[in-house]
Structure 1
Amino acid sequence: MASLKSIKKRIVSVKNTRQITKAMKMVSAAKLRRAQENVVAARPYAKKLGEVLERLAKSQDGDSSPLMQKRPAEKALLIVVTSDRGLCGGFNANICKAAERFVKERSAEFSEIGVMTVGRKGFEFLKNRRTVYKNYSNIFSSLSYQTAALLGQEVIEGFLNEEYDQVFILYNAFRSVMSQDITLEQLLPITPAESEEGEYAPEYIYEPSKGELLAELLPKHIEVQIFKSLLESVASEHGARMTAMDSASKNATEMIGKLTLQYNRARQAAITTELMEIISGAESIKG
């Protein structure tokens, strides 16, 4: 049986760990509230922008913009969004596995699939398995629309230069503290959603022309979709870390209870042994 000193040392160690996990849970809870507010604010804008593009695209020729042109798909780019830090359960591992699955399943469709990672954890996982086109790390602590805009401009430039024919983004969409959905979306070429059959489509007067508006809004649409995906990922990360730290704190509490019971039993056994030795000594003196 372990000595009383070693058991007590383990109890102190687990208690210190529990303090850390509880603190991390509280920090993640505070950050989650802000991140969730940002996601809720971004979703309606992204949705409405998509609806405007849909109406504009239907009134124009399908290939009116280079960003909407469909060409033979030979090369693809997959943007994988993970976090820079760990201790958030299966948040990063699930996305990385989904990225590997995407490359494996679509390898027959594309002659080449490049990977761009946003977040250090995704880069560390994929760098030895796939060719990572580029990596962006340490952007989540001060995430802004300008960061997403720069990323969007780089992706658009590569698409227009025919470095890749299709662009996809893979990220964790925030649903709740306990639930994050792995989401794959196609960014380029832009394919507006089709309206339901028989749906009424009102006519709008546009100023400036529809073509000018489309040319202006299409790049903006890519930037907004990337920004929304990053915000979703940040909220999902904090939710996953909060859940993981809560689970770790509960496990630590259970372990402390088990170790305390083990310590008490060992202490009782030691006391019993000492009493038996004292009694045996006393008996031997009497004899």
Structure 2
Amino acid sequence: MAAGKEIRGKIKSVENTKKITKAMEMVAASKMRKAQERMRAARPYSDKVRNIAANLGKANPEYTHPFMKLNDAKVAGFIVVTTDKGLCGGMNTNVLRAVTGKLREAQAAGVESHAVAIGNKGLGFLNRIGAKVVSHVTQLGDTPHLDKLIGPVKVLLDAYAEGKVNAVYLSYTRFINTMKQEPVIEQLLPLSAAKLQADA
């Protein structure tokens, strides 16, 4: 009798766990769907900004914005975007591996690296490998606010405008679908009029 009661208790426990897991799955699916919708809504805005920048570059070719000027500073800036939490497969691992490769390239070329960490995982990783983190922001949640991002990122943008940094790179994970995300490292600064026109 005791064994039967124990088995029934375990069955009930498994059923309760199944209900909780199902509820968590539904919440996660809902959050994922909303995140995808926000991402799709933001992409046309990003494309339009590039288009406007390209048109401005063509309209007044004799004007050179500070972000388009080259300098010979021996410092490169990296904006590293990761999540605050784990349990997301290789998403953080892949982008941080790509960043590590880029940092090694810079070091081999005698270029110092300064980093801005967006997300707790990236911040922890950069601190562990001894990278110079000049600014960071974490705990942005599911809907990051621009006012929290501007300050940390502006540290590198200002350094570039002042000629203290010779290039700024953005590293992030590009979402393809739920099964595939690819790490990306793209150069933000210096801006290239030709590249802007090609992207537009």
Global fold match (TM > 0.5): yes
Greater strand share, structure number: 2
Q: Does 1:138 align with 2:139?
A: yes
Distance (Å, rounded) in 1 between the aligned partners of 2:115 and 2:196: 32
Cα distance in structure 1, aligned partners of 2:196 and 2:101: 31
24 and 67 in structure 1: CA distance in 2 versus 1, 3 angstrom threshold: same
Equivalence map 1:174-189=2 (5 Å): 174-189=175-190
Structure 2 spans left out of the alignment, 5+ residues: 1-6
- 1:21 CA displacement: 4.6
C-alpha distance in structure 2 between counterparts of 1:78 and 1:10, whole Å: 51
Structure of higher CA gyration radius: 1
Q: Deviations over 1:221-271 (max 9, x none)?
A: xxxxxxxxxxxxxxxxxxxxxxxxxxxxxxxxxxxxxxxxxxxxxxxxxxx
Distance 1:109 1:73 in 2: 12
1:40 aligns with 2:40: yes
In angstroms, what is the RMSD of aligned CA positions? 3.1
Q: Distance in 1 between matches of 2:129 and 2:34?
A: 35
Distance 1:141 1:185, change over 3 A: same
Residue 124 of structure 1 deviates from its aligned partner by 1.6
Q: Which amino acid aligns with 2:191?
A: I
Instruction: State the match for 1:83 in structure 2.
Output: 83
Q: Please give the secondary structure, in 2, of the residue aligned with 1:72.
A: coil
Query: 8 Å contact 2:137–2:152 — kept in the other structure?
Result: no
- The amino acid of 1:185's aligned partner reads E
Query: What is the aligned partner in structure 1 of residue 29 from structure 2?
Result: 29
- Contact 1:73 / 1:110 at 8 angstroms: preserved in 2? no
What is the correspondence of 1:25-174 to structure 2 with a 5 Å cutoff?
25-61=25-61, 64-131=64-131, 132-174=133-175
Is the CA contact (8 Å cut-off) linking 1:166 and 1:188 kept in structure 2?
yes
Aligned to 1:100, what secondary structure does the other structure show?
helix
> How far 1:73 moved relative to its partner?
4.9
Q: Cα offset for 1:13?
A: 7.8
Q: Deviations over 1:130-167 (max 9, x none)?
A: 32222211013441233333344333222223332211
Q: What is the Cα deviation at residue 125 of structure 1?
A: 2.1
CA distance in 1, matches of 2:64, 2:195: 17
2-side partners of 1:62 and 1:11: how far apart?
Answer: 76
Following the alignment from structure 2 to structure 1, what is the Cα–Cα distance between the partners of residues 77 and 11?
Answer: 50
Retained in 2: the 8 A contact 1:76–1:110?
A: no
Tell me which amino acid in the other structure corresponds to 1:80. Answer: V
C-alpha change, 1:75 and 1:135, in structure 2 (3 Å) is same
| More helix as a share of residues | 1
Percent identity among equivalent residues? 34
The structure showing larger relative contact order (alpha-carbon pairs under 8 Å, at least 6 residues apart) is 1
Task: Determine if contact 1:73/1:165 at 8 Å carries over to the other structure.
Answer: yes
Q: Is 2:195 the counterpart of 1:190?
A: no
CA distance in 2, matches of 1:104, 1:8: 58
SS of residue paired to 2:177: coil
**CA 1:8–1:92: 2 relative to 1, 3 Å:** farther
Residues 97-118 of structure 1 show CA distances to partners (whole Å, capped at 9, x for unaligned) of: 1111111123233520122211
**Matched AA of 1:30:** S
